[in-house]
Structure 1
Amino acid sequence: MQHGDTPTPIDRFAGILAQLWSRTAPVRDRVRARFEVDTRSLAAVRIALALTLLFDLVHRAGHIELFYTDAGAYPLRAFELTYTQYNGLSIHALSGDLWFQQALFACAGLFAIAFLVGYRTRLVGAVSFLLMVSLHARNPAVLNGGDRLFLVLFFVALVAPLGERWSIDARRRGTARATVVSFGTVALLVQPLVVFSANAIKKHAGDTWYAGEALQIAMANDTMTIFLGNVIADYPTLLTALNYGWVTLLSGSVLFLLVPVGRIRMLAAFAYIGAFLGMATAMTVGLFPLVLTASIIPYLPAVFWDTAARYVPARWTDRLPSATALGPLDRPPVEHRLTAALRARGYDDAVSYAFAYGRSLLTVFGFMVVVWILVFGAADVAEADVPDQIDHDHLDQQSWGLYAPNPSSSYSWYIPEAELANGSSIDARDGGAVTFDRPPDASDEYDTFRHRKFLQAVRDAEQGSIAQGYADWMCRQAADHTGATVERVTVYRMIQDSPVNGEFDSEPSRRTVIEYDCSTQTVV
C-alpha cells in the first residue's frame, strides 16, 4: 500500500490480528513456560528409561528358558494358538531355542546401553522400542499394566530430544539448548497427567477409594504386599490417610504438576516421586514405580538441576570425556558428513530444504502423538466406542485401571500336584510334600510378579494352550526332581478372602484349574 492510500478491508483485518496476537503475548508466554522442559530433565528421562529397560531385561533373563523357549511353559506351539493379535510382531518368535533368545536379550541390552549414554539417541531408542515390542509380543501372558505403560512412555519420549544433554550426541555436536518446548515436550508432560486423571476417574466409579477404604483392602492382599507394605498393613489410620493422599495426587495432577512453575513444580514432582518410591517398597506391581518416576522427571525445573549442580564435586565433571576423547565416536555422524559433502558440491538449498522438511515432519508427528494421547485417554474414561478405522490393539493403549474401580478383596496362589507311578504325590515345583494350608506370606508363592501374571493366564485359559503348556512343563519339573515316572499333574488354585480387618474370616477354598495326563500329554 502506498503512503496516503486508503487501507483495504484485508489490511485492516490483518492489523487487527496483529494487535490481538501482540496482546496475547503474556498468555502465550505463560503457556509456553508450562510446557518448556529443561534439557537436563530430558537427559535424566533418557537415563531412567534406559536403566529401567536394562533392569527389565536382567529380571526377565533369570527365567528366559521358562517363558520364552520351547523347553519352558510357553513354547512356540502355545504362542501360535494364543494372543493371535500379536502374530507377526515378534522377532523372538522366530525360534524357540535358548541360544536365540539369549542373543536377542544381549542385543537389546547393547542398544539399551547405547541409549543410556546417548549415542545416536533417537535411532537406538527406536530399535530398543521395536525389540521391546517384540519381547512383549512373544509372551503377553507375563505382562501387566506397568509393561504397557513403559512401552507407551518410551514411545512418547522418543518424540522429544532426549540426547540434547549429557550424551555422546551432545559431545559430538558441541552445543546444547538449555530448554526445549515442542509438541514432543507437550506429549511427554501430558502423558502422566492422562494416566493419573484416567485412573482417578475410574476409581471414582468404585465405592472404596473415595471412602478411604481401598488402600487397606489392597494392602490386605498378601500376594501383592512386600517389605514396607507388610508393616503399614497393621495401621488402618495411616492407610486411610495414605489412601486419601494418593487419590488427591491422582485427581489433582493437572493442578499440582502442570499449572505451577519453578520451585512449586519441583516440590510437587518430589511428592509424586516419593509416592512412587513408597509403592516400590510396599507392593510388587512390576515396573509401575520405575516408569511412573521416569514420567515425572520432565517436571523437574531448572532450579532443581542448578541447586543439585552445586553439590556435584568438580573432580567428577572434570573427568567427563570431551568430544576429542571419544575415539572413533569423535567423528561426526554419517548424515552430517553427507550433508557437508552435498553443501560443498553446491546443493546447499536442497540440504536446507531437507532439514526444514525433517523438522516439520517431526513437529507434525509430535502433534499427532499429543492427539493420540488425549483422544484415546478420553475415549477410555468415557467408555466411548472408537471408530473401527483406528480401533486397534496396538494403538489403543491409553487404558489405565490399576486397582480401579476397586481393589480385589481376595487373593490366590497355585499348587501343582504331581501324581507319581508309585501312587505318591509331590509338589511339582520343588519335589516336596503337597500342602493346601494358607502360606505365612502368599507373595513367596511366586518367584516374581511375572510368574503371578502367567499363572493368572493359566487360570483364565483353563483348558487352553497356556494351561496345557504349563502343566506339561510341570510334568517335566516333577520328573526332574524325583527321577520317577509322573503320571498326572493337577493344578489347583487356592483362593483366600483378604483379612481386611487383620484377621482371616474363612479358610482358603480350592478350585481345579487343569488335570493333565503327562504320558499322553492330554487334558483329563
Structure 2
Amino acid sequence: MRDERSSRPKTNRSPKGRTRLESVKSAVRSRFEVDTRALAALRIGLGSILLLDVIHRAGDIETYYTDAGAYPLEAYEATYPQFNGLSIHALSGELWVQQLLFLVAGVFAVALIVGYRTRLVAAISLVLLLSLHARNPAVLNGGDRLLRVMLLLALVTPIGERWSVDALRRGSTRPVVASFATAALLVQPVVVFTQNAILKHRGDTWYSGDGVKIALANDVMTIHLGNHLGAYPALLEVLNWVWVILLAGSGGFLLVTSGRLRALFALAYIGAFVGLLTSVAVGLFPLVLIATMIPFLTTPFWETLARFVPSRLTDRLPSASALGPLSRPPVERRALESARTRGYERVTSVAETHGRSLLTAVGVLLLCWILLFSAINVVDHDGSGGIETEFSNEQHWGLYAPDPSTSYSWFGAEATLENGSTVDAFEGGELAMERPVDASQEYDTFRERKFLEAVRDSGREGTNNVTAESYADWVCDRADDEHDADVDEVRLFRLVQASPVDGEYEDLRAQTVIERAC
C-alpha cells in the first residue's frame, strides 16, 4: 500500500522561508512602532491644544454659543438639523451653562496633560469636543477636524504609558508599542499630506511653483512672517517646491524610514508647520499638524534629548508615594485584583483578553476608515458622485487645494438710524469702504472669519439664510447699544479685493450680503 504520508503536500516552510517571513514581519512592525515617550508627548500636546482652544473660544463664548449671541439655538437647529440632539452645549442657550461646560472641558484638558485616568479623561474630552463642534460648525476649520480625529486615534493607544500619573501608579512601562492603533496614528498625517498633494495637483499653481506666492498675497490670511516673505519671489518659489515635496513624499519620508532618519524628517515637517503657524492665520491647524509629527520621533531622538536634561531635574520627579490618594490603582484594576483573590482568575483573564482584543479591533476599524474615506474624498472630491457624508468628510483635507484663492474679503455692517443717517453699526461714524492697511486685522479671530463666511453663504439667494438673519438681528442689538438713536435697519457688506499677486491692487468690490429691518 502506498504510504499516505508521502502523498500529502508539504506545508512546513523551509527555515530560509521562515527567516525571510520573520524578517518582513519585523521590518513592517518596526515601521509602526512608536516610542512610549512620543505617545506621552502627544498626550501632553493634545491636552495643551484642547486647553488653548477652550481659552481661545472663551473670548467669544456669548457670541457663538448662547441665545444672546449671533448664533442662538433656534438658528443652530434650523441650519444643522443633522446635529440636533448630539450636542450637550445645545441643551441650553444660557451663558452660565456654556461657561460651566467650558470650565469642565478645561479641567479635563489639564487632567489629560498630567495623564490622570488617561483613557477615560481622553474619552470625555473627545465627547466634549464633539459636542462643542456640533453646537456651531460654522466656526470650524480643518484644524478642528484633525484635532478630533487625532484625539480619537490617541484614545486607543497607550498615551498614558509614560510621564503621567497613571505611569507612576502602574510602576512599569514599555519602551515601544506597535499595534493597529499606532499604525492608524502614523498613517493619519501621511493620508492628510498625500490627499492634499493629489488635490493640489489638480490645480494650476502648486506644481508650477506659484502656490505659495498666491497664498501669501491673500492679505486676510497672511500674518507676521508671511507679510515679509512677499518681497522675495525666488524664496517663495523654493518654499513652494519644498512644501509640495513634503506633501507628495510624506509616505516615503515618514513611513518607509525608521530610526534617526525618520526623526530627522519629522523635525523637518515640524519646522515647516512652525513656518505655517507664523505666516498664515489658519487657527489651530499648524499646532495640530505639529502634534501629528510627535509619534514619528523615534527612540534615538528621545535618547539624545534625555542627555540634555539635567540630572537635578530628573532626580526631582515624583514617586507614586508622593501622589497621596491618587496613588491608588484605578477602580477597574482594583476590581480585577479583588476578583482574582476570590478565585475568579479565569473570569479576570477573559476580561483582560477581551479588552485587548477590543482595542485591536477598534484599531483595525480606524485604520480602514482612514484609508477608505480618504480615498473616497480623492476620487469624489467635489461630491458629484453622491458619496459625500459627514463621516467621510472627516477625512477631507483640502487646505489651499486645488489652488489658493486669488482674492480675499472682509465685512462691514452699516446701520440706518431712525433719522435716516447711516453709520458703522459697531464703531459709529462712516463705514469704511476702502482697503485697510492690513486686512487680517479686520477679523478679531480666525473663527470670526469662518463664521462670517458662513453668513455670506447663508445670505446668498436660494439658500437657507437663517444664519445671515440671526447675525443681522444680533448686529441690530449691538447697534442699538452703540448708538443713542434707534436703529431701523442694518446692511451687511462683503468687500472683495483681488489678491495683488503682481503687486498691483485692482478696484475694491462691495457686495450686499443681507439687509434686515430691526
TM-score calculated relative to the size of structure 1: 0.95
How many residues are treated as equivalent by the alignment? 511
Alignment match of 1:81 (pick from 78, 82, 102): 78
Matched, 1:446 2:447: no
Matched, 1:165 2:162: yes
Matched residues in 2 for 1:9 and 1:246: separation? 61
Residues 13-412 of structure 1 correspond to what in structure 2 (within 5 A)? 13=11, 15-16=12-13, 20-383=17-380, 392-412=389-409
Instruction: Give how far 1:503 is off.
Output: 1.9
Matched residues in 1 for 2:516 and 2:14: separation? 76
Matched residues in 2 for 1:419 and 1:284: separation? 33
Matched, 1:456 2:471: no
Cα 1:182–1:8 change in 2 (3 A) is farther
Moved over 3 A (4+): 5-11, 17-22, 384-388
Matched residues in 2 for 1:177 and 1:439: separation? 56
8 Å contact 1:118–1:167 — kept in the other structure? yes
Instruction: Give how far 1:392 is off.
Output: 3.8
For 1:516, what is the secondary structure of its paired residue?
A: strand
Matched residues in 2 for 1:184 and 1:10: separation? 40
Cα 1:25–1:387 change in 2 (3 A) is farther
Instruction: Give how far 1:326 is off.
Output: 0.5
Instruction: Give how far 1:313 is off.
Output: 1.4
Cα 1:8–1:391 change in 2 (3 A) is farther
8 Å contact 2:374–2:392 — kept in the other structure? no
Matched residues in 2 for 1:409 and 1:328: separation? 59
Instruction: Name structure 2 gaps, 5 residues minimum.
Output: none
**Which residue of the partner structure matches residue 472 of structure 2?**
471
Matched residues in 2 for 1:116 and 1:143: separation? 24
**Which residue of the partner structure matches residue 483 of structure 1?**
484
Matched residues in 1 for 2:371 and 2:300: separation? 29
Matched residues in 2 for 1:257 and 1:135: separation? 32
Amino acid at match of 1:498: S
For 2:351, what is the secondary structure of its paired residue?
A: helix
**Which residue of the partner structure matches residue 515 of structure 2?**
515
**Which residue of the partner structure matches residue 10 of structure 2?**
12
Instruction: Name structure 1 gaps, 5 residues minimum.
Output: 519-524
Cα 1:9–1:202 change in 2 (3 A) is farther
**Which residue of the partner structure matches residue 522 of structure 1?**
none
For 2:332, what is the secondary structure of its paired residue?
A: helix
CA-to-aligned-CA distance 1:199-235 (integer Å, 9 cap, x gap): 0000000010000011111100000000000000221
Matched residues in 1 for 2:388 and 2:236: separation? 39
Cα 1:512–1:36 change in 2 (3 A) is same
Q: Percent identity?
A: 57
Instruction: Give how far 1:266 is off.
Output: 1.3
Residues 490-501 of structure 1 correspond to what in structure 2 (within 5 A)? 490-501=491-502
For 2:272, what is the secondary structure of its paired residue?
A: helix
Cα 1:499–1:396 change in 2 (3 A) is closer
Instruction: Give how far 1:10 is off.
Output: 6.0
CA-to-aligned-CA distance 1:355-378 (integer Å, 9 cap, x gap): 011111111110111111111111
C-alpha RMSD over aligned residues: 1.7
CA-to-aligned-CA distance 1:233-270 (integer Å, 9 cap, x gap): 22111111100100000000011111111111111111
Amino acid at match of 2:516: Y
Amino acid at match of 2:329: P
Cα 1:87–1:176 change in 2 (3 A) is same
Instruction: Give how far 1:12 is off.
Output: 2.5
Amino acid at match of 1:356: T
8 Å contact 2:376–2:392 — kept in the other structure? no
For 1:413, what is the secondary structure of its paired residue?
A: strand
CA-to-aligned-CA distance 1:159-202 (integer Å, 9 cap, x gap): 21111111111110000000000011100000000000000000
8 Å contact 1:379–1:386 — kept in the other structure? no
Instruction: Give how far 1:512 is off.
Output: 0.4
Matched residues in 1 for 2:220 and 2:7: separation? 72
Amino acid at match of 1:513: V
CA-to-aligned-CA distance 1:397-439 (integer Å, 9 cap, x gap): 1111000000000000101001111222221122243110111
Instruction: Give how far 1:477 is off.
Output: 1.1
Amino acid at match of 1:422: N
Matched residues in 2 for 1:213 and 1:156: separation? 35
8 Å contact 1:234–1:502 — kept in the other structure? no
Cα 1:316–1:9 change in 2 (3 A) is farther
Matched residues in 2 for 1:209 and 1:328: separation? 57
For 1:419, what is the secondary structure of its paired residue?
A: strand
Instruction: Give how far 1:8 is off.
Output: 6.6
Matched residues in 2 for 1:477 and 1:508: separation? 27
Cα 1:391–1:421 change in 2 (3 A) is closer
Matched residues in 1 for 2:47 and 2:223: separation? 26
Matched residues in 2 for 1:297 and 1:331: separation? 30
Matched residues in 1 for 2:309 and 2:358: separation? 39
Cα 1:17–1:69 change in 2 (3 A) is farther
For 2:150, what is the secondary structure of its paired residue?
A: helix
8 Å contact 1:193–1:253 — kept in the other structure? yes
Instruction: Give how far 1:11 is off.
Output: 7.5
Matched residues in 2 for 1:263 and 1:429: separation? 55
Which range is displaced more, 393-402 or 156-165? 393-402
Amino acid at match of 2:472: A
Which range is displaced more, 417-426 or 122-131? 417-426
Which range is displaced more, 261-270 or 185-194? 261-270
Matched residues in 1 for 2:204 and 2:127: separation? 40
8 Å contact 2:216–2:227 — kept in the other structure? yes
**Which residue of the partner structure matches residue 418 of structure 1?**
415
